[in-house]
Amino acid sequence: MNILIMGPAGSGKGTMSERIRDHFQIPHISTGDMFRENIKKKTGLGLTAQSYINDGKLVPDSLTVAMVKDRINKDDCSVGYLLDGFPRSLPQAMALGKIAVDDKAVQIVLNLTIPFDELVSRITGRRLCRSCGSIYHIASHPSKVEGVCDHCGGELYQRSDDTVESLKVRLNEYEMNTRPVLDYYSKKGLVVDIDASLPIEEVWQQVKKALGE
Angle between helical axes of 44-54 and 61-72 (0-180°, round to 10) = 120
Sign of CA dihedral 146, 152, 153, 154: negative
Q: How far is the CB of 67 from ligand AMP (least distance, A)?
A: 9
| Annotated catalytic residue within 36, 122, 126, 127 | 126
Q: What single DSSP character describes residue 19?
A: H
- DSSP structure string for 118-165: HHHHHHHTEEEETTT--EEETTTB--SSTTB-TTT-PBEE--TT-SHH
Residue 176 near residue 85, CB atoms below 8 Å? no
Nearer to ligand AMP, 45 or 203 (CB): 45
126 binds ligand AMP (CB under 6 A): no
| Annotated catalytic residue within 21, 69, 159, 208 | 159
Radius of gyration of the chain (CA): 16
Q: Which of residues 159-198 bind ligand AMP (CB under 6 A)?
A: 170
User: In the set 12, 56, 72, 196, which binds ligand AMP (CB under 6 A)?
Assistant: 56
Q: How far is the CB of 119 from ligand AMP (least distance, A)?
A: 12
User: In the set 53, 72, 129, 156, which binds ligand AMP (CB under 6 A)?
Assistant: 53
12 binds ligand AMP (CB under 6 A): no
Nearer to ligand AMP, 131 or 172 (CB): 172
User: In the set 35, 81, 136, 174, which binds ligand AMP (CB under 6 A)?
Assistant: 35
204 binds ligand AMP (CB under 6 A): no
**Strand order, beta sheet including 28-30:** 28-30, 81-84, 2-6, 108-113, 191-195
| Annotated catalytic residue within 36, 88, 122, 127 | 88
Cα 79 to chain centroid distance, Å, stands at: 20
Q: Count Cβ atoms below 10 Å from residue 160 Cβ, excluding itself.
A: 10
C-alpha pair distances (Å), 201 with each of 146, 172, 178, 198? 24, 28, 26, 8
Q: Which of residues 60-119 bind ligand AMP (CB under 6 A)?
A: 64, 85-86, 88, 92
Q: Which residues are catalytic?
A: 13, 88, 126, 159, 170
Give the binding site for ligand AMP (CB under 6 A).
9, 31-32, 35, 52-53, 56-59, 64, 85-86, 88, 92, 170
